[in-house]
Amino acid sequence: MVSFYCFASLQPKGILERLDAGEVVIGDGGYVFALEKRGYMKAGPFTPECVVEFPDVVRQLHREFLRSGSDCLQTFTFYASEDKLENRGAEAAAKYGVEAINDAACKLAREVADEGGALVIGGVSPTPTFMNGLGREACIANFKKQVDVFVKNDVDFLLGETFVHCQEAEWATEACKASGKPVAMCIGVASLKTDYTGIPLEECAVRLAKAGADIIGVNCISGPIECLEAIKLMKKRFRRSWNQEALDDSTPRDESESNMKFASYVKAMEPRTVTRWDIHKFSREAYDLGIRFIGGCCGFEAYHIRAIAEELSKERGGKLPPASEKHGLWGAKRAKSTGRTSFPPLVVRTVGAFSPKQPHFDLIPGHDDFRQQTEMTTEEEVKKTGWTKIKDVSWLWLRLVIMQMFFKYMNGRSCVDLK
Ligand SMILES: [Zn+2]
């Protein structure tokens, strides 16, 4: 009797129950970039077979996010659709199979989530099937292979992320909704203010809601500020109070329409990574906008998640994550007292080179520029992207120096003096 009571009291509340009650729910961060940097997955395919190959490493990363304040842990199943696991020379489908990879990811996330009463999110992402223009039924059948594994493992809810085409996000929503689990769906093109086919984000939000999404949000590709601007647009079309957004946010913030246009993308984005002070500010602004599900995306490490948890601690009943015991908030307090958190986000970031050719825009699935294949990418295909003709734009460093002098003059102190 006693043990039953204890067990029941430890059951975490569902995501919709929490959001409906006005709780601030914190997601986790970017597994793909983190594990590539640490040497456990391959840049290019970015498929997550390391859940089978290096389970301890994935388990540890889950644990770091949990320890930093994540209320939900996402299965590391980004790009784990069957067609992606065999795309462009990827061997994961043949070697392990879609079911084994998604199953291992679910078990790892659940194991760690149970250590701290967190929820488990089954995640889906963009697919070659959609890019090849194979249509609704093929797309839904493709997503279903992952969703079936999520249901078998009884994840708490499902989330679609980084969809740059509203249509694919709608079909992903349909496939996820059929599971009977709550569905969160994110669009990944915040700074364009439309999806890749020109559908305004306001309209995308309505379409996702009509397709059955319980939570609507944005993630990836753009940075925190663009994501907040996008959420403002998406909220416009809803009359009821907006308390169910997912805001998975990406690392690098820039003034361009996509981080992917930088030559430094994906492998040299460190100078563009947001700081924890940026995330303090971002979390506060997200909260003030009414956003109640806040998490991270590419480049988000555990300390970024901790910054969300610390900034919104008061709103979360004074709760602080275990990792804050080793932090004590002294750094944040000191930063605030010296006015350093008032700097514009990433004022110290570098300016990167640009691709001479903007991919993707105004194209429809099935177009040659989108086409995916099981064969390895050829030299000829790489040349067609224009990435081999990138010009040296290092003179732009000069602009950065001038900016620094300007800030120093205006503020009476250097914006890069972090002593
Ligand atoms: Zn991302």
**Distance between CA atoms of residues 318 and 52, nearest Å:** 38
pLDDT in tens, 275-285: 888 888 889 99
139 is in an annotated binding site: no
pLDDT in tens, 326-372: 765 545 555 554 444 454 444 333 333 344 444 455 667 787 777 78
Provide the pLDDT for residue 200.
92
pTM recorded for the entire structure: 0.80
Contact 64, 107 (CB under 8 A): no
How far is the centre of ligand 1, averaged over its atoms, from the C-alpha of 1 (Å)? Answer: 45
Provide the pLDDT for residue 281.
86
298 is in an annotated binding site: yes
Provide the pLDDT for residue 299.
86
How far is the centre of ligand 1, averaged over its atoms, from the C-alpha of 309 (Å)? Answer: 20
How far is the centre of ligand 1, averaged over its atoms, from the C-alpha of 260 (Å)? Answer: 11
How far is the centre of ligand 1, averaged over its atoms, from the C-alpha of 8 (Å)? Answer: 35
Q: What is the CA radius of gyration of the chain?
A: 21
* Distant-in-sequence, close-in-space partners of 254: CB < 8 Å, separation ≥ 6: 223, 262, 272, 349
Provide the pLDDT for residue 125.
97
Residue 415: pLDDT band by 50, 70, 90 thresholds?
A: very low
Provide the pLDDT for residue 214.
92
**Distance between CA atoms of residues 403 and 414, nearest Å:** 10
CA-angle at 173, arms to 168 and 178, nearest 5°: 135
The one-character DSSP state at 14 is P
Could you give the percent of the chain with pLDDT greater than 70? Answer: 71
Residue keyed to tokens 């559908």: 199
Nearest to 49 by CA among 93, 17, 83: 93
How far is the centre of ligand 1, averaged over its atoms, from the C-alpha of 248 (Å)? Answer: 8
β-bridge mates for residue 160, sequence order: 124, 185
CA-angle at 163, arms to 225 and 224, nearest 5°: 10
Provide the pLDDT for residue 2.
32
Q: Which tokens go with 411?
A: 């503020």
pLDDT in tens, 110-156: 999 999 999 999 999 999 999 999 999 999 999 999 999 999 999 99
Contact 65, 331 (CB under 8 A): no
How far is the centre of ligand 1, averaged over its atoms, from the C-alpha of 367 (Å)? Answer: 24
Provide the pLDDT for residue 246.
42
Say if residue 266 is preceded by a cis peptide, omega within 30 of 0.
Answer: yes
User: Which residue has better confidence, 415 or 267?
Assistant: 267
Residue 190: pLDDT band by 50, 70, 90 thresholds?
A: low
Provide the pLDDT for residue 236.
78
Q: Where does 350-418 have alpha helices with state H?
A: 379-385, 396-411
**Distance between CA atoms of residues 310 and 298, nearest Å:** 21
**Distance between CA atoms of residues 55 and 49, nearest Å:** 9
In total, the chain counts a number of residues equal to 419
Residue keyed to tokens 């003059």: 409
Q: Across the chain, what does the average pLDDT equal?
A: 80
50 is in an annotated binding site: no
How far is the centre of ligand 1, averaged over its atoms, from the C-alpha of 218 (Å)? Answer: 10
How far is the centre of ligand 1, averaged over its atoms, from the C-alpha of 168 (Å)? Answer: 17
How far is the centre of ligand 1, averaged over its atoms, from the C-alpha of 384 (Å)? Answer: 25
Burial of 85 (0-12, 13-18, 19+ CB in 10 A): buried
Provide the pLDDT for residue 260.
57
